[in-house]
């Protein structure tokens, strides 16, 4: 007896029904990317482990899927480490490759390797799965697709603006109501500087990132536990309780940052981006959010996050500017900025809110009922003719019972069925039946084409 098949934790299968919906999402996103001049690339599912390690922080390193070396991998392993069961150190000896954790780091590697073939600024998009050994939850998978757009080799804030326009267009096209949250790492660094804890930037950002979720008091407790002085925490309070419009917040921040060069720079950048965005026809709300931190530690400037307004789920898109990701791979002074659309979360939102336009789920427009070998062969010819006109047509392959064929068309949501039996063959006509209204009439092939293409 065969064992019951299963798939690994946190992964999922997609049925044809789900794939048409997913492809609609991918196509919508791709179409916007292309309209802004981004070109596609792909990179391997696996990367060398040293390309990936150390780019996502300690937590990220733990979440990397590592691939066991081929062959007798234990042969080369150190006996001492083996005996001690020291997994951490042993890993380096038995695994040299890992599954990619995101698309940004492989992209940086790609840019460095291909720097002489590329012209900068280089704009690319990339839609591929990534893997994280996270514990799965709703909206959190171990394998999921990211749709990344990045510009590299340009410092201009126009790029940040363009990414906001892209986010706006993508979600408007898909019909998802969202808010774009914007912040800047320089502002966060400025805050750390001002309160006299410049070296604790990560601890501070991780803590204030939770402000909305756990409240001010608990954030302060956490900051204190992380070892911040009471004085520093006290200095932080007015910043955390900033409120009002984006420009109002920026004005207050500018004042606070009077003595911080870095913070001032961050405020200026935010102000410029927001000012330009306001002059364009961006409909999505862009909200300055000082508590937005983002864990990936390669960000250095603007950081973005997009939240769905009508569904409780983690952020569905996120990104930011990284000034020196390529530096690690030997290409200095190349700044990039990009964002990543989380296709699987977008898929979950679209499903929950049922945002698909009706035509997305229609595949076949017209199905020919098969009355027998002779009639079927005749239908095949008409079907080819219709396909040349761009119609999506199928001929039922077996001369099964009428009821079975009709039921098939029904299930597949096919709007029209064509009946061509001996009578129609002799008359040179096709009986076209509307499956919704039940109406049917005999017509010539040209009439059918006209019905569908008008």
Residue 59 lies near RNA (rule: CB under 7 A): yes
Least distance (Å) between residue 7 CB and RNA: 8
Judged by CB under 7 A, which stretch of 120-128, 155-163, 231-239, 291-299 contacts RNA?
Answer: 291-299
Residue 345 lies near RNA (rule: CB under 7 A): yes
Residue 401 lies near RNA (rule: CB under 7 A): yes
Residue 129 lies near RNA (rule: CB under 7 A): no
Least distance (Å) between residue 12 CB and RNA: 8
Least distance (Å) between residue 268 CB and RNA: 25
> How far is CA 373 from its chain centroid?
48
Residue 138 lies near RNA (rule: CB under 7 A): yes
Taking CB under 7 A as the criterion, which residues in 18-57 touch RNA? 57
Q: Within 13 Å, how many C-alpha atoms sit on residue 400's CB side? A: 12
Residue 206 lies near RNA (rule: CB under 7 A): yes
Taking CB under 7 A as the criterion, which residues in 362-391 touch RNA? 371
Least distance (Å) between residue 214 CB and RNA: 7
Is-contact 273 157, C-beta < 8 A? yes
Least distance (Å) between residue 81 CB and RNA: 19
Residue 406 lies near RNA (rule: CB under 7 A): yes
Least distance (Å) between residue 247 CB and RNA: 27
**429 φ/ψ angles, rounded to the nearest 5 degrees:** -125, 175
Least distance (Å) between residue 424 CB and RNA: 6
**Interface residue with RNA, options 20, 314, 363, 392 (CB under 7 A):** 314
Residue 100 lies near RNA (rule: CB under 7 A): no
Residue 135 lies near RNA (rule: CB under 7 A): yes
Looking at beta carbons only, is 189 or 250 nearer to RNA? Answer: 189
Residue 170 lies near RNA (rule: CB under 7 A): no
Residue 212 lies near RNA (rule: CB under 7 A): no
Least distance (Å) between residue 367 CB and RNA: 11
Give the binding site for RNA (CB under 7 A).
Answer: 1, 4, 6, 8-10, 57, 59-60, 62-63, 102, 132, 134-142, 144, 146, 206, 209-210, 213-214, 293-296, 305-306, 314-318, 340-342, 344-345, 371, 401-404, 406-407, 409-411, 419, 421-424, 431, 433, 435-438, 440
């Amino acid at each position: 007896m065969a064992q019951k098949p299963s798939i690994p934790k946190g992964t999922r299968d997609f049925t044809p029904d789900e794939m048409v919906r997913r492809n609609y999402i991918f196509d919508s996103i791709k179409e916007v990317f292309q309209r802004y001049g981004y070109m596609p690339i792909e990179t391997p599912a696996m990367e060398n482990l040293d390309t990936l390690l150390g780019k996502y922080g300690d937590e990220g390193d733990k979440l990397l899927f590592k691939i066991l070396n081929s062959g007798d991998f234990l042969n080369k392993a150190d006996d001492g480490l083996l005996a001690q069961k020291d997994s951490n150190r042993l890993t380096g000896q038995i695994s040299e490759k890992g599954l990619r954790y995101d698309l940004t780091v492989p992209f940086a590697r790609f840019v460095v390797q291909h720097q002489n073939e590329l012209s900068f600024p280089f704009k690319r998009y990339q839609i591929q799965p990534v893997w994280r050994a996270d514990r799965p939850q709703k909206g959190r998978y171990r394998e999921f697709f990211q749709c990344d757009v990045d510009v590299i080799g340009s410092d201009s804030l126009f790029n940040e603006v363009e990414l906001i326009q892209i986010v706006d267009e993508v979600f408007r096209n898909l019909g998802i109501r969202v808010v774009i949250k914007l912040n800047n790492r320089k502002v966060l660094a400025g805050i750390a500087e001002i309160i006299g804890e410049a070296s604790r930037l990560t601890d501070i950002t991780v803590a204030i990132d939770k402000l909305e979720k756990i409240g001010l008091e608990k954030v302060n407790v956490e900051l204190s536990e992380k070892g911040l002085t009471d004085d520093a925490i006290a200095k932080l309070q007015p910043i955390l309780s900033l409120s009002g419009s984006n420009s109002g917040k920026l004005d207050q921040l500018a004042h606070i940052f009077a003595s911080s060069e870095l913070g001032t720079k961050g405020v200026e950048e935010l102000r410029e981006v927001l000012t330009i965005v306001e002059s364009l026809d961006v409909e999505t709300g862009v909200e300055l959010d000082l508590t937005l931190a983002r864990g990936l530690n390669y960000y250095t400037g603007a950081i973005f996050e997009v939240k769905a307004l009508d569904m409780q789920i983690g952020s569905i898109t996120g990104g930011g500017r990284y000034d020196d990701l390529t530096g690690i791979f030997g290409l200095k002074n190349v700044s990039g900025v990009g964002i990543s659309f989380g296709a699987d979360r977008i898929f979950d939102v679209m499903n929950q809110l049922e945002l698909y336009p009706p035509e997305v789920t229609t595949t076949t427009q017209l199905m020919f009922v098969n009355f027998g070998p002779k009639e079927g062969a005749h239908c095949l010819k008409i079907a080819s003719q219709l396909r040349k006109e761009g119609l999506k047509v199928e001929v039922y392959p077996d001369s099964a019972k009428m009821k079975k064929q009709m039921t098939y068309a029904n299930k597949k949501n096919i709007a029209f069925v064509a009946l061509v039996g001996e009578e129609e063959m002799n008359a040179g006509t096709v009986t076209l039946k509307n499956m919704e209204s039940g109406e049917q009439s005999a017509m010539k092939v040209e009439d059918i084409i006209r019905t569908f293409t008008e």
